[in-house]
Amino acid sequence: MIDVSKRNNVRVIGEGNQSIILAHGFGCSQNVWRHFVTAYKDKFKLILFDFVGAGQSDLSAYDSKRYSTLDGYAKDVLEIIEALHLKNTIFIGHSVSCMVGVKAAILQPTYFSKLIFVSPSPYYINDQDYKGGLEKEDLINLLALMDSNYLGWSSFIAPQVMGNPNQPELGEELTANFCATDPDIAKEFARVTFLSDNRADLEKLPIQSLTLQCQDDILAPLEVGYFIEQKAKDNTLKILKATGHCPHLSAPEETIAVINAYLHLPE
């Protein structure tokens, strides 16, 4: 039997009746949610975890076939929820994890009450009238650079993804996170992340959702937020003043305040 807790380094914090599962994005770990832990640990039961290959996850559990699509990561989320006997969970995902949450909710809608997307994108590549943010040729070149020099690629791309050059320590943190991720797994996860087209899944989502979209996000332009709002049933779009791709780190107070309003929490 799979030890899900060990595989994904699952941690449960807080004693609230309502559970929130926090899913980090590519190249990160559960530590990126530290501001959320501080804000919510007295109100909710928080479930933190690392995707296999990230943080303190069990690297021996990585299976290239299972994780060749986002479906494998969605199964991990469902198995964590099942192991903890959770129902009606609030799912908060960042970046690629937003679509992981969508896939999980389509498979098991009763496990979730709401989905909250932080800087989501169903498809990162420009495609006719769809503006995903990246040209396919540029993305292929970035992936080739990652293959040839992962550490150099991390140092180059992480500060651009983070944005907020006035907070250089955040770019350095993201670079360190990228570099701490197993390189071979990261290369495969990057391809799954950036080449997957999950646009059709949005119309199948049966759970209400909130989209938090940032200004000047090189990976998820504002058009992506409007696309999700249009395609996902019962989706609420909020455009943040925050810039970059990681508002939970660069602008946690604003990000948490918008989520609080959506969840009807007292200020």
How far apart, in whole angstroms, are the C-alpha atoms of residue 23 and residue 94?
Answer: 6
Which residues pair with residue 19 across a beta bridge? 45
**Centroid of chain to Cα 76:** 14
Distances (CA, A) of 73 to 57, 198, 252, 260: 13, 14, 26, 27
Output DSSP code: residue 134: B
Choosing from 97, 113, 154, 245, the catalytic residue is 245
Choosing from 50, 76, 201, 217, the catalytic residue is 217
Is 245 among the residues known to form the active site? yes
> Would you state the structure tokens that stand for residue 7, as one six-digit string?
């595989």
Choosing from 19, 29, 57, 95, the catalytic residue is 95
How far apart, in whole angstroms, are the C-alpha atoms of residue 264 and residue 87?
Answer: 20
Is 217 among the residues known to form the active site? yes
If phi over 0 gives left and psi between -120 and 50 gives alpha, with beta otherwise, what is residue 21? beta
Is 95 among the residues known to form the active site? yes
Q: What is the 3-state secondary structure (H, E, C) of 231-266?
A: HCCCEEEEEEEEECCCHHHHCHHHHHHHHHHHCCCC
Catalytic residues: 95, 217, 245
